[in-house]
A and B are shown apart, each in its own frame.
Chain A
């Protein structure tokens, strides 16, 4: 499809397990973002990539969270030793190049990966 694709859509993990969440951005979008959305809250910034470079990871809540985008397209968000407070929807978004004339705020979000940690 033409949109941002995330997998898995739902993930249930036992506390202490590691999880990996995948994001396929829209082709040609060099900017990629990860957000965390707790129930009833707005999305909170986690990290930002431009191509393969992780330019901002200030929103990652702990060193258990790790994101990568080795070839500048697909990205993976990894959470090690999951805790119950990690339960949330993890949203990936990509942004078209500024040369398309779109505003810097126009992100294209995937449907998210809902993580439940038991």
Chain B
């Protein structure tokens, strides 16, 4: 079945630095990916999505890069702030688009 997985379970960055969170996927037919942020005690919050016809998409302080050749995507957060501390998930909807396979998440800690 499909699977997505983040490369590192934890990541610590200094406030103001850029953060890069990586994610690999296994299903070469996957054509849509989503990033979510989950703060402690809260539900996941949508950050940004990207379709496979794009290799880059930018949001507010975030950029997602998609490399279909190696089945890898990354989330880049510019000028990381303490409020960015959370667990980040990449999600891969199934072919039905109604099941979302979340990875195990990367816990980002921002050091003031």
Contacts and interface: CB of A to CB of B under 8 A. Distances in A.
Interface of A: 4, 31, 33, 40-45, 48, 55-56, 58-59, 91, 93, 103-112
A107 B100 contact: yes
Secondary structure of the A side of the interface?
loop
Interface of B: 32-34, 41-46, 49, 89, 91, 93, 96-105
A62 B46 CA distance: 29
Nearest to B44: A109
Tell which of B41, B43, B46, B100 has the most Cβ of chain A within 10 Å: B43
B103 to A, nearest CB: 6
Contacts of A108: 46
B32 A93 contact: no
Given A105-B34, A105-B49, A106-B49, A91 B43 contact: yes
Contact of B96 (A41, A56, A106, A111): A56
B92 to A, nearest CB: 9
B43 A4 contact: yes
26 contacts: A33-B98, A33-B100, A40-B104, A41-B105, A42-B104, A43-B44, A43-B102, A45-B101, A48-B98, A56-B96, A56-B98, A59-B99, A91-B43, A103-B32, A104-B97, A105-B32, A105-B33, A105-B100, A106-B34, A106-B46, A106-B49, A107-B44, A107-B100, A108-B46, A109-B43, A111-B42
